[in-house]
Amino acid sequence: MSKEDKNTNKPNKPGEEFNWNRVFKIVLGWSAILIGFFLIMVYTKGSDAQSSQISFNEFQTLIRENKVKSATVRKSNNNYEFDGTLVSPQNFQVAGRTITTDKINVFLPYTNLSNDVIAEWEKAGINFTIEKDEGSWFEPLIGILPWILIIAFWIFIMRRMSQNAGGGTRGIFSFGKAKPKMLSESSVKVTFKDVAGADEAKQELSEIIEFLKTPQKFQKLGGKIPKGVLLLGPPGTGKTLLARAVAGEAGVPFFSISGADFVEMFVGVGASRVRDLFEQGKKSAPCIIFIDEIDAVGRHRGAGLGGGHDEREQTLNQLLIEMDGFEQNNGVIVIASTNRPDILDPALLRPGRFDRQVVVDRPDVKGREGILKVHTRKIPLAKDVKLEIIAKGTPGFSGADLANLVNEAALLAARRNSDMVTMRDMDDAKDKVLMGTERRSIVISEREKKTTAYHEAGHVIVAKMIPEADPVHKVTIIPRGRALGVTSYLPIDEKHTYSKEYLEAMIAYLFGGRAAEKLIFNEYTTGASNDIERATGIARKMVCEFGMSEKLGPLKYGDKQEEVFLGKEIHQNKNHSDATQILIDEEIKKIIQNGLERAEKILSENKDKLDALSMALLERETLDSEEIDAVLRGETLPPIEKPINESSQPENKMKESGKQTKDGEDFAPGDVALAN
Q: Residue 475 pairs with which residues in a beta bridge?
A: 487, 623
Using pLDDT thresholds of 50, 70 and 90, give the confidence band for residue 589. very high
Buried b (16+ CB within 10 A) or exposed e, 189-214: ebebeebbbbeebbebbeebbebbee
pLDDT in tens, 177-192: 656 666 655 555 777 8
**436 SS3 class:** coil
Question: Given this model, what pLDDT does residue 126 score?
Answer: 84
Amino acid 304: pLDDT:
53
Q: Tell me which DSSP letter residue 568 carries.
A: E
Residue 211's pLDDT band (cuts 50, 70, 90): confident
Confidence tier at 532 by pLDDT (50, 70, 90): very high
Among residues 106, 265, 251, the alpha carbon closest in space to that of 188 is found at: 251
- What is the distance, to the nearest Å, from the Cα of residue 129 to the centroid of all Cα atoms in its chain? 77
pLDDT value of position 166: 43
**Does position 565 have pLDDT exceeding 50, yes or no?**
no
The share of the chain scoring above pLDDT 90, in percent, equals 16
Question: What pLDDT, in 10s, does the model give residues 42-73?
Answer: 555 544 445 577 888 888 888 888 888 888 88
Contact 167, 256 (CB under 8 A): no
pLDDT digits 0-9 by tens, 433-470 = 877 777 776 777 888 889 999 999 999 999 999 988 88
**Residue length of the chain:** 676
Residue 473 CA to residue 471 CA, distance in Å, equals 6
Residue 483 has pLDDT above 90, yes or no: no
Residue 22 scores a pLDDT above 50: yes
Q: Which helix (H) or strand (E) holds 189?
A: none
Q: Would you say 385 and 422 are in contact if contact means Cβ atoms under 8 Å apart?
A: yes
Name the strand (E) or helix (H) holding 445: none
Q: CA-CA distance, 28 to 26, in Å (whole number)?
A: 5
The residues carrying an active-site annotation are 456
Model-wide pTM > 0.85: no
Average pLDDT score, the chain? 77
- Integer Rg of the chain from CA: 42
Q: Cα(218)–Cα(221) distance, rounded to whole angstroms?
A: 6
Residue 612 predicted with pLDDT over 60: yes
Give the 3-state secondary structure of residue 258. Answer: strand
* Rounded alpha-carbon distances, angstroms, from residue 23 to 30, 160, 274: 11, 9, 26
User: Who's near 402: CB < 8 A, 6+ residues apart?
Assistant: 368, 371, 372, 375, 394
Q: Give tens-digit pLDDT for 366-415.
A: 888 999 998 998 899 998 898 988 888 888 888 889 999 999 999 999 99
- Position 165 scores a pLDDT of 43
